[in-house]
Amino acid sequence: MTPRTPLGQRYLEDLQLRNYSPKTQQVYFECVSHFARYFKKSPELLGPEDIRTYQLYLVHQKKASWSRFNQTVCALRFLYGKTLGKDWAITHIPFPRTEKKLPVVLSAAEVVQFFAAIHSFKYRTLLMTTYATGLRLSEVLHLRVTDIDSRRTVIRVHLGKGHKDREVMLSPKLLELLRAYWKVYRPQSWLFPSQGGPGPLSASAVQHVCLEARRDSGLGKKVSSHSLRHSFATHLLEAGVDLRTIQLLLGHTSLSTTARYLHVSKASLAATASPFDALPLPSHS
């Protein structure tokens, strides 16, 4: 299936009509295209058993990650449920049970240690902005100079995940850092522009810097840009900020998504008494 075929064109149009992001459109189309190429047939000629066969192929032969597996399931559910209108699509394309791992969270000292290992002022400012605001990497990369509202001390986030605008805090220390950064680089449109083109820096370039900083810092944790977002949320929770406020800052649709930080907050763990403490114990003698 290609964008030039009638089915491919209609699939993309259906995704666009439902306001899926360009990145999601690309990923979904790739997943469906790989599915069609595997059978060398149009998806219109394939059914539930073919989907099951392909899912087993992804697990046992392709060794696809669960993330990629779930993307494929979502893409096929949309294709058969929305574009092709098959009533069996939802019930016959199952999701796997996924692993639920706690997010990687750095202590305040580890955050400082990580930043000290980033040699580029530009990338260090970008990642410090990530921690200071709790923004997703894609949101930081798409910040424009005009999104920094120093008078109201907020940063505007345009069409974050879920296509929702929101505002996050602009701390005095971050504002001071961004002013120093602006004096050095003088960005005109994008706050963190690419060196070789008109757009912003790429996510892969930032993750490469994170990998180098993790190595140079000596931290044993698997630190990524998203670890800084997790650390932001956890540190706010430990400072006594309520979960609803953190939810709004992170741009989570569901409070249950934000609630997972309760599992990694030292403050919430320390404030919870063990039932062992209420037991009358025998003497040690």
For β-strands 154-157 and 166-169, DSSP reports them as: antiparallel
Q: CA-CA distance, 150 to 185, in Å (whole number)?
A: 18
Nearest residue to 139 via CA among 147, 180, 241, 194: 147
Q: Which residues pair with 154 in a beta bridge?
A: 149, 169
Q: CA-CA distance, 20 to 138, in Å (whole number)?
A: 15
Sequence-separated (6 or more) residues with CB below 8 Å from residue 68? 31, 58
Q: Is the dihedral of CA 96, 97, 101, 102 positive or negative?
A: positive
**Sheet with 166-169: strands ordered across:** 148-149, 154-157, 166-169
Residues marked active site are found at 136, 161, 226, 229, 252, 261
